[in-house]
A and B are shown apart, each in its own frame.
Chain A
Amino acid sequence: MSSLLPQLMLGLFNGACYALLSLGLAIIFGLLNVVNFAHGAFYMLGAFIGWGLLHYAGLGYWAALVIAPLVVGVLGVVLERTLLSRLYRLDPLYNLLLTFGLALILQGLFLAKFGSSGEIYDPPAALRGAWNLGFMILPIYRGWVMIVSVVVCLATWYVTERTKLGSYLRAATENAGLVQAFGINVPRMVTVTYGLGVALAAFAGVLAAPIFRVNPTMGDDMIIIVFAVVVIGGMGSIMGSIVTGFALGLVEGLTKVLYPPASSTVVFALMALVLLVRPAGLFGKAP
C-alpha cells in the first residue's frame, strides 16, 4: 500500500482540475444555458500559452498564470459576442454544437502545428523539489496546485454566493428578463461570465502544464470526464461542482491503487449509478 498516498495526492490534483473546470462550466451553464464544449480546448490553450510564453518570450510561470487566463478570457468575450450570442434564442443544442466546432478548430490548429506528442513545461524553481511530511513525500508543486485551486474555488463560491454581483448573477440565472427589467445590463453580465468561465479553464491549464505534457488533446480527455462530473454533481450549485470535482479525483486515484484497469472508467460507472439513484445529480434540483 506504499503507493496509496502518492496516488491519492495525484487523484486530488486531478480533482483540483476537475473542480476548476466544472466550476467554470457550471457558472456558464447557469447564466447562458450553454454547455461549453470548448471548455477543454480553452484549458489546452491555457497550457499552450503558458508554454509559449516561456518558449518564445522568456516569460515564466508566474507571468503565465496571469497572462494566459487574461488572453483566453478576452478570446472568450470576443467569441461570445460574435458567435454564441447569435444562438441564444434557439435550442441550446445549437450552442453545444457551435462550441464543439470551436473545440475542433482549436485542437486541430494545435495538432497541425505541434503534433500529438506534446511539449514539456517545467515548474518554476521555487516550486521544485518535495516536502517530506514524515508519512509521505509530497512534491511541492502538487501541494501548491492543491492550495491554489482550493483558494480559487472558494473565492468563486464567495463571489457568487455572498456578494451583490453574485446575487445579480444568481437572479439572472433564475429569470434574466426580470433582472433586466430592474435595470441591470444582463447581456454584458453574460459576456463577462463567459469570459471568466473560460479564464478559469485557462488557469487550470497553466496549473496542469508542469504535471502533464502540454499537448493538443489534453483538453478532450479532460472535458469528457468533467461532463461526467457535472452530471454527477448537478449543475445547480457552485459548491456542488467543487466538492464533486475533488471527490471524483480522489475516487479515481483510489481506483488506480485498488484496481488499475478500472481507473479510466470508474467516473463513468459512478455517473451511471448516480443516474439510477438520483437522476438530478447529487446537488441538483429535481427537474
Chain B
Amino acid sequence: MTARARPRRWRSEYTVFAVMTGALVVAPLVAYSGLLMTCMCMALFACAFNLLIGYVGLLSFGHAMFLGGAGYAAAHAAKVWELPPELAILFGTAVAAALGLVVGWLAIRRQGIYFAMITLGLAQMIYFVCSQAKFTHGEDAIQGVPRGVLFGVVDLANPAAMYGLVLVVFLVGFSIIYRVIHSPFGAVLTAIRENETRAVSLGYNTDHYKLIAFVISAALAGTAGATKALASQVASLTDVHWTMSGEVVLMTLIGGLGRFTGPVVGAFVVVCLEHYFAESSGWVNVAQGVVFVLCVLTFRQGMMGKLSAALRLPL
C-alpha cells in the first residue's frame, strides 16, 4: 500500500459509513422497525464473527453461545434484578466476554477444523446447560423482558427510542471492529491468518493475539445478543442453538468473508429472507443449504467482494 493511496481509502470508507448510517436512520420509514432491529443486532453479531474468520482465519462454529448466553444474561438482569437497560447490556457483554475467555483459551490450542469442532462442542454444552438451567425457563424462554428507561431518562417502551438505541449500539460496535481491524493489532491478526509460523518467527506470541481477538469477538457478539434480547423482549433457546452458529457463518459468507461491510449486508439479506419465507420449517433449511453450497462453490468473495471489485472500492 503506497502512501498516496492512503487518504483516498479513508475518504471512501467514511462515505460507506455515512451512507450506511443515513440508510439506517431513514429505514424505519419504509420498513418494519422490529425487523430492522433484528437485522442490526444480527449484523453486529456477524461483524463480530467476521473479525475471527475474516481477519484471524479462525472458524468458530459456536458463536451462538455468546449471542444467546448474553441474551439470557441481559434478560435475566433486566427482568429479575431489574437493572436499567444500559447495565443489562453491559452485563450481557461481560458474561459473553468471560465465556469467550474460557472457550477461547481452550479452543486456540487446536487449529483449523479442530477449532471449528471444539467451538461447536463447547457451544452445544452451553446449549444443554441453558436448556436445563432454572433461570432460563428452558423451552418457555424468558419472556416479557422489560426494556426499561435508558440512563433514567429515555423510556425505551417508545419504539423510536428503542430503535435509536439499537442503531447506536450497532454503529459503535461496528466502529470498534473497524478500528480493531485497521490497527497495528489488526495487522498482526492478518499476519497470523496469512502465515502463523512466520508471525511466530517474527516474535509475536500468536496465541495471545488469537485469544484477545476471540474475546473481543465474543464480547461484541454478546452486546448484539443482549441488545436483541431487550429489543425483542425475549431470550430463548433459538439463539443458543447450533443452527444460529451456522446462520452467522452463512451471513458472513454471503456478504463476503474478511470484508468489513460484508457481514452487515449478509445479515440483512438472511434475516429478511427468513422473515419473508415465513416459518415453513424444513424449506428454510433447504434454502440455506443451497445458498451455502452455491456460495462455497461459486461465490466465495461474497456480495461485497464482488461489488468491491466492480467499483474498485475497498468495501
A-side residues, CB < 8 A to B, are 35, 83, 86-87, 90, 92-94, 96-98, 100-113, 116, 216, 220, 224-225, 227-228, 230-231, 261, 264-265, 267-269, 271-272, 275-276, 279, 287
Query: Shortest CB–CB separation between residue A226 and chain B, in angstroms?
Result: 9
Contacts of B292 in A (CB 8 A): 97-98, 100-101, 104
CB pair A102–B289 under 8 Å, yes or no, is yes
Query: Roughly how many angstroms separate A110 CA and B285 CA in the complex, as a whole number?
Result: 10
CB pair B293–A105 under 8 Å, yes or no, is yes
Residue from A83, A261, A265 whose CB has the most chain B CB atoms within 10 Å: A265
The one of B117, B242, B300 that contacts A35, using a Cβ cutoff of 8 Å: B117
The one of B106, B113, B125 that contacts A275, using a Cβ cutoff of 8 Å: B106
Q: Provide the B48-72 mask, 1 if CB < 8 A to any CB of A, else 0.
A: 0000000000010000000000000
Q: Provide the B96-111 mask, 1 if CB < 8 A to any CB of A, else 0.
A: 0000000000110111
Query: Roughly how many angstroms separate A255 CA and B98 CA in the complex, as a whole number?
Result: 28
Query: Shortest CB–CB separation between residue B286 and chain A, in angstroms?
Result: 4
Which of the candidate stretches B15-23, B264-272, B276-284 sits at the interface with the other chain? B276-284
Query: Roughly how many angstroms separate A264 CA and B125 CA in the complex, as a whole number?
Result: 8
The one of B128, B132, B297 that contacts A98, using a Cβ cutoff of 8 Å: B297
8 A-B pairs with least C-beta separation: A101-B292, A108-B285, A112-B282, A104-B289, A105-B289, A111-B282, A108-B286, A268-B125
Contacts of B110 in A (CB 8 A): 231, 275, 279, 287
B118 located at the interface, meaning its Cβ lies under 8 Å from any Cβ of chain A in the complex? yes
Contacts of B128 in A (CB 8 A): 264-265, 268
B-side residues, CB < 8 A to A, are 59, 106-107, 109-114, 116-118, 120-122, 124-125, 128-129, 132, 242, 246, 249, 253, 280-293, 296-297, 300
Which residue of chain A has the shortest Cβ distance to B58 in the bound complex? A93
CB pair A269–B249 under 8 Å, yes or no, is no
Contacts of B116 in A (CB 8 A): 35, 93, 96
CB pair B122–A272 under 8 Å, yes or no, is yes
Which secondary structure characterizes the binding site on chain B? Answer: helix
Query: Shortest CB–CB separation between residue B270 and chain A, in angstroms?
Result: 13
Query: Roughly how many angstroms separate A96 CA and B59 CA in the complex, as a whole number?
Result: 10
Query: Shortest CB–CB separation between residue B314 and chain A, in angstroms?
Result: 22
Query: Shortest CB–CB separation between residue B147 and chain A, in angstroms?
Result: 33
Contacts of B107 in A (CB 8 A): 275
CB pair A108–B297 under 8 Å, yes or no, is no
**Given A106-B289, A108-B282, A112-B280: 6 more A-B contacts, CB < 8 Å:** A92-B112, A94-B300, A102-B289, A110-B282, A268-B128, A287-B110
CB pair B109–A108 under 8 Å, yes or no, is no
CB pair B285–A101 under 8 Å, yes or no, is no
CB pair A220–B286 under 8 Å, yes or no, is no
Contacts of B117 in A (CB 8 A): 35, 227-228, 230-231
The one of A93, A224, A228 that contacts B59, using a Cβ cutoff of 8 Å: A93
CB pair A224–B121 under 8 Å, yes or no, is yes
CB pair B121–A112 under 8 Å, yes or no, is no
Contacts of B287 in A (CB 8 A): 108
CB pair A101–B106 under 8 Å, yes or no, is no
CB pair A100–B300 under 8 Å, yes or no, is no
Query: Roughly how many angstroms separate A108 CA and B282 CA in the complex, as a whole number?
Result: 4
Query: Roughly how many angstroms separate A276 CA and B284 CA in the complex, as a whole number?
Result: 38
Query: Roughly how many angstroms separate A84 CA and B296 CA in the complex, as a whole number?
Result: 10
Which residue of chain B has the shortest Cβ distance to A97 in the bound complex? B296
Give 8 A-B contacts (CB < 8 Å), ordered by A residue. A87-B296, A104-B286, A111-B285, A227-B117, A231-B114, A231-B118, A275-B106, A275-B107
Residue from B117, B125, B284 whose CB has the most chain A CB atoms within 10 Å: B117
Query: Roughly how many angstroms separate A224 CA and B242 CA in the complex, as a whole number?
Result: 9
Residue from A86, A93, A231 whose CB has the most chain B CB atoms within 10 Å: A93
CB pair A104–B296 under 8 Å, yes or no, is no
Contacts of B297 in A (CB 8 A): 83, 86-87, 98
CB pair A224–B124 under 8 Å, yes or no, is yes
The one of A101, A112, A272, A276 that contacts B281, using a Cβ cutoff of 8 Å: A112
Which residue of chain A has the shortest Cβ distance to B242 in the bound complex? A224
Which residue of chain B has the shortest Cβ distance to A269 in the bound complex? B125
With contact pairs A93-B59, A100-B246 given, residues A272 and B106 touching in the complex (Cβ less than 8 Å): yes
Query: Roughly how many angstroms separate A279 CA and B297 CA in the complex, as a whole number?
Result: 32
Query: Shortest CB–CB separation between residue B301 and chain A, in angstroms?
Result: 13
Query: Roughly how many angstroms separate A103 CA and B288 CA in the complex, as a whole number?
Result: 10
Query: Roughly how many angstroms separate A158 CA and B235 CA in the complex, as a whole number?
Result: 51
Query: Shortest CB–CB separation between residue B8 and chain A, in angstroms?
Result: 31
Which residue of chain B has the shortest Cβ distance to A114 in the bound complex? B282
Query: Shortest CB–CB separation between residue B273 and chain A, in angstroms?
Result: 14
Query: Shortest CB–CB separation between residue A173 and chain B, in angstroms?
Result: 15
With contact pairs A108-B286, A279-B109 given, residues A97 and B253 touching in the complex (Cβ less than 8 Å): yes
Residue from B284, B287, B293 whose CB has the most chain A CB atoms within 10 Å: B293
Query: Shortest CB–CB separation between residue A12 and chain B, in angstroms?
Result: 22
Which residue of chain B has the shortest Cβ distance to A276 in the bound complex? B106
Query: Roughly how many angstroms separate A93 CA and B117 CA in the complex, as a whole number?
Result: 11
Query: Roughly how many angstroms separate A279 CA and B107 CA in the complex, as a whole number?
Result: 9
CB pair B120–A103 under 8 Å, yes or no, is no
Query: Roughly how many angstroms separate A90 CA and B300 CA in the complex, as a whole number?
Result: 11
CB pair B122–A268 under 8 Å, yes or no, is yes
Contacts of B132 in A (CB 8 A): 261, 264
Query: Shortest CB–CB separation between residue A101 and chain B, in angstroms?
Result: 3
